[in-house]
Amino acid sequence: MGHYLVKILDAEFINHDVKRFIVERPPEYSFIPGQGSEVAIDLPQWKNEFRSFTFTNLTTQNYLEFMVKIYEDHNGVTKQLGKTNAGADLIIGEPFGAIAYKGPGVFLAGGSGITPFISIFRTLYKENLMRGNKLIYSNKSSEDFILAQELQKMLKKDVIPFFTHERNIGFAPKHIDRYFLIDIIHDFSQYFYLCGPDGFVKDLSKILLDLGANLESLVVEG
């Protein structure tokens, strides 16, 4: 599998813990919206530590963009990426990923699980094909919502934010449950795209199947 050395052209935080990277695009490197690649930092102690990140830009742009949630609580790759800026080199692998657009449906994202949907939505929006798609986007609180303005511009009333830790009575987090989905989704025969923490994808897949979704209509990573 090929590896490519790419320079970071721009890096900036877009909210309190998510950092956006623009990197060089190797010649003839192509990807499908929804795909990402393995990424390592080209420093002696980090160059073998590959982690997966998803491209968020349009396939027609001559750079690659990804957005990384930085975990400051342990000394992993994302903490190091928090300190890595324009001019540094990254190593990327070949594009991979199972999430791809198949047709209108409901997108369910948890936290940084929004990233494969960003490239898909940007592509659909540019081609005027957003109609019939809905996004349910779950975060701990509104400050964690990535690209709120752009998502609202692209999806308008079809973006439904869900906050697990805001306006809670007591301290237990709220979760998207079957009643919430029944309220919002009226047709369970459409496509469902799911991306987020393992528990999020597992729990929501089960609820959707219980409510009549077909296994073949669930688009998930892995």
Site for ligand FAD in 160-199 (CB under 6 A): none
For residue 68, the SS3 value is strand
CB of 117 to ligand FAD, least distance (A): 10
Site for ligand FAD in 51-70 (CB under 6 A): 51-54, 66-69
Q: In sequence order, what are the residues at sequence separation of 6 or more whose Cβ sits closer than 8 angstroms to the Cβ of residue 135?
A: 106, 107, 108, 109, 117, 121, 151, 155, 158, 159, 160
For residue 65, the SS3 value is strand
Between 112 and 217, CB nearer to ligand FAD: 112
C-beta separation of 90 from 40 below 8 A: yes
Q: Residue 169: what are its φ and ψ, rounded to 5°? A: -90, 125
Site for ligand FAD in 14-53 (CB under 6 A): 36, 51-53
Site for ligand FAD in 71-100 (CB under 6 A): 71, 73-74, 76-79, 97
* Nearest residue (beta carbon) to ligand FAD: 76
CB of 66 to ligand FAD, least distance (A): 5
156 binds ligand FAD (CB under 6 A): no
DSSP-assigned letter for residue 208: H
Q: In sequence order, what are the residues at sequence separation of 6 or more whose Cβ sits closer than 8 angstroms to the Cβ of residue 60?
A: none
CB of 71 to ligand FAD, least distance (A): 5
Provide the binding-site residues for ligand FAD, judged by CB under 6 A.
Answer: 36, 51-54, 66-69, 71, 73-74, 76-79, 97, 112, 115, 221
